[in-house]
Structure 1
Amino acid sequence: MSFTALHRALGVPPGPWTEDLLDAAVAAGVMETNDLDWKTNLPPAKGLSQTDFPKDVAAMANSGGGVIIYGVCESQKAAAGRMDAGELTEVYERSLRSVAITAISPPVFGLNIHSLGTTGNRAVVVEIPASVDGPHLIYRGDYFGAPVRNDADTVWMKERQIEAMYRARFEERRHATEALDALFTDVSAGRDMHKRAWLMGVAHPRVPRLSERLTREGARAVLNQTEKLALKYASRRGMHPLENVDMLNPRPGLRRWVCVNTATSERSRWKEAWLAIHHDGSVSLAAAVGGHPTPEAGPGHFDGHQIESYAIECAVADLMALLRATAEATSNDEYDLRVGIEWTGSEPLAILTKDQIGFTYTDTSTPLHRFTPVATTVNAVEPDLDYFWHVHDLAQDCVNQGGVSYVHLICPPERDQ
């Protein structure tokens, strides 16, 4: 589902791209604007970084996002007719995305590219998301410049404009940090961290998309997809927090859907978990990871400060699966993310791993008097394999803090396969 300047100009609701939209734009003579640009042909694949494509993408990103449509000719800035834009192959599409990353600084991620029509009447739509990383710069000969849209034209920013955009970027980063802080504080509230360690994971879209709130059925669909992804990222050999929340009956909260804990008996409280899908596309998860059972040593539990690495891996897999499924449902892409382990007891945290036979041991554990939260930015709609590696690297960063070198459950295929 898309809602762009063209949808707005035609007065149509969000929806998929179709040829009817382009035909209607031509019939109505829709004018180019800050966030809509008509182009006749796709730029040549050879030397793509030297064409106007990087400049056009950077200008749209610097102007709050927009859409470039190839395959429409214009007259006096108005759509005047359809043309054949050229073939959009898989290799060419990858080249477009690559140039937006390599020829623009900082990179522009999250391009949505659509192909419409058949030979003789082909069109290609490139959606450029709004960005909080401006100004985006490109080379102008021997130096950098920052392009920006000025109504239907692309011009170069003046020094004061560049200065103002840098100031806005730093301010936005401050707001993003505050948003993560608020989410983290919220999800941490009420946990018995003096008895057992808890893993808290939160993620907030860098530029929240304005979309309709998820219905209960929509939230259930997100959770169903989350479960499938989580088991793809990490097997059932560990305890997934998702297994201990009510995913069939998400309950309304303050601008969110909440999956409440189902591990309420005295025997099952060790696996307590909570998660939430927020209406702005944010997600949060809290899972008790300390004090899990010690099956190989007979009845009993680890102490509250002792955490199996498997528990961390499963919690990270579930959080990242929830993030990806929510992003797809809410049309969000880039997220700021933070994972922390909270423990207020007197003993230092110990992250435990397993030997080749499957027995838990502590020989490699490094005592942690404080777990440093792991923060990163992730493109939640990037290709499956790239995202899978983000899941792996995030889990590895978490267990590395406790002296554990490797993850065991999260094993993505090699990138070149």
Structure 2
Amino acid sequence: MKFTPLHRALGSAPSPLTDELLDAAINAGVRETDDLDWKSELPPIKGLPQSDVPKDIAAMANAGGGMIIYGVEESQKSATGRKDTGEFTEGHERAYRSAAVSAISPPVFGLDIYRLGTDPLAVAVVIPASVDGPHLIYRNDYFGAPIRNDADTVWMRERQIEAMYRARFDERRRSSEAIDALYDEAAAGRDTDQRAWFVAVARPRIPALLARPDRDKARAIFERAEAVTLRFSKNSGVHPLENVDRLNPRPGLRRWVAVNTATSGQQLWREAWAEAHHDGSVTLAAAVGAHRKSFDGNLEGWEVESRGIECGISDFTALIRAVAETQNLDEYEVRVGIEWTGKQPLQILTVDNTGRTYDGVSNPLRKFTPVRTSLNAAGTDNDFHQEVYRLAEDSVNQGGITYLHTIFEPTQEKDS
């Protein structure tokens, strides 16, 4: 479900964005506001980055997000009728999205673009709220920061730009503190003096506000994550999501918890816990030390197979992707770590050519350095796969391991 400025202007509840909703807004003579802009014609695809499109997008992003609708005629800022935009091709859409990235600094990602109706056709562009303002527009040697002022686009003054930079830096500090607190909570109570634990947490840059998924939606999220993880990893190794109760998540504090199902003595080495929070945050904790190495024996608590880390990262990022799809989120801040407090140095193990566990290239680690990154959970499958692969590489490289064995290498897309 979507809740856009069009819904707000009509007093409608969250619902799909439809042609009927646009007609209702026109019949009501809805006026332009700081987050709603009527335009009668689409910008031409040629020279689109040099048009007013980047300025319009940046102005909305700097004002907290908004919506531009092409194919609506207006008088005195009020909608009066429809005007067919003509065909809006995939090439036109790519050029539009490219302008939001290449002609604005910092780029504006996550545009939602909708084609409404057929004859006449309208195009609606939803610009998300941004925590990276001010977004600047460059024209040769000059730059400026546009912003919406009611129904008009104006240029920010120096004090406004200063205040927005300060807000950006404050948000980054608060975001870092929030994800560290989430990590500490996920790591708390684990027997890290006996065996190493994989702990991973993610928090959306802009948390979900309207979403409060029920049990059925939570169940669908965990089931969806199980399918997503197999897009970029093998169905081998110890996947944490195989060891949690995905079908019967339990309620927690503003979250749903998939509890550990590896509870018997012979299975406890596979212990795992996963959470999907109402605000879009995700946590995963899984025992990765002391895994089974043979029918009657286990690795030591400080010995961690690199494949176990890969499976953890694959499942964790798949859970991010599943939550983001459900709650319409995009950018996430991520922290991944291995927690071990025993006396022996931590060792990350790989496998040799025969598939046997091998420690000949391992770097003994007194402490695993947490890996921090940002993920665009709304990107294309290949782009997301690239980010997952890099996260896994960073995680195993510090243990002396070069190659991944569970996560597939992503396809390198050629420049067109």
Structure 2 residue 180 is the aligned partner of structure 1 residue 162 = no
Structure 2 residue 318 is the aligned partner of structure 1 residue 321 = yes
- Percent identity, please: 61
- Which structure 2 segments of 5+ residues have no match? none
Match of 1:408 in 2: 405
Q: 1:35: how far off?
A: 0.4
| Residues 203 and 281, structure 2, Cα contact 8 Å, conserved in 1 | yes
- Give the distance between the partners of 2:153 and 2:64, measured in 1 at CA: 14
Cα distance 1:226–1:133, how it changes in 2: closer, same or farther (>3 A)?
same
Deviations 1:126-173 (A, max 9, x none): 110000000000113422110000000101000000000000000000
- Give the distance between the partners of 1:269 and 1:242, measured in 2 at CA: 14
- Give the distance between the partners of 1:160 and 1:166, measured in 2 at CA: 10
| Residues 113 and 124, structure 1, Cα contact 8 Å, conserved in 2 | yes
Match of 1:82 in 2: 82
- Aligned residues: CA RMSD: 1.1
Q: 1:314: how far off?
A: 0.4
Match of 2:25 in 1: 25
- Give the distance between the partners of 1:61 and 1:378, measured in 2 at CA: 20
Give the AA of the match of 1:328: E
Give the AA of the match of 1:56: D
Secondary structure of the structure 2 residue equivalent to 1:314:
helix
- Give the distance between the partners of 2:143 and 2:403, measured in 1 at CA: 41
Match of 2:150 in 1: 151
Match of 2:246 in 1: 247
| Residues 222 and 319, structure 2, Cα contact 8 Å, conserved in 1 | yes
After TM superposition, which residue ranges in structure 1, 4 or more long, deviate above 6 angstroms? none
Q: 1:233: how far off?
A: 2.1
| Residues 262 and 270, structure 2, Cα contact 8 Å, conserved in 1 | yes
TM-score (norm 2): 0.97
Deviations 1:193-212 (A, max 9, x none): 00111011101111112223
Secondary structure of the structure 2 residue equivalent to 1:294:
strand
Deviations 1:47-100 (A, max 9, x none): 110001100000000000001101101111111110112322122212211111
Match of 2:132 in 1: 133
Q: 1:400: how far off?
A: 0.6
Deviations 1:372-391 (A, max 9, x none): 11111111111111111111
Secondary structure of the structure 1 residue equivalent to 2:297:
coil
* Counterpart pick for 1:302 among 299, 303, 309: 299
Structure 2 residue 15 is the aligned partner of structure 1 residue 15 = yes
Secondary structure of the structure 2 residue equivalent to 1:212:
coil
Q: 1:405: how far off?
A: 0.8
Match of 1:258 in 2: 257
Structure 2 residue 377 is the aligned partner of structure 1 residue 371 = no
| Residues 385 and 412, structure 1, Cα contact 8 Å, conserved in 2 | no
* Counterpart pick for 1:362 among 356, 359, 370: 359
Q: 1:20: how far off?
A: 0.8
Structure 2 residue 100 is the aligned partner of structure 1 residue 100 = yes
- Give the distance between the partners of 2:22 and 2:188, measured in 1 at CA: 51
TM-score (norm 1): 0.97
Q: 1:412: how far off?
A: 4.3
Structure 2 residue 109 is the aligned partner of structure 1 residue 112 = no
- Give the distance between the partners of 1:280 and 1:122, measured in 2 at CA: 35
- Give the distance between the partners of 2:322 and 2:366, measured in 1 at CA: 34
- Give the distance between the partners of 2:137 and 2:244, measured in 1 at CA: 48
Q: 1:272: how far off?
A: 0.5
Q: 1:413: how far off?
A: 4.2
Secondary structure of the structure 1 residue equivalent to 2:223:
helix
- Give the distance between the partners of 1:387 and 1:380, measured in 2 at CA: 7
| Residues 147 and 154, structure 1, Cα contact 8 Å, conserved in 2 | yes
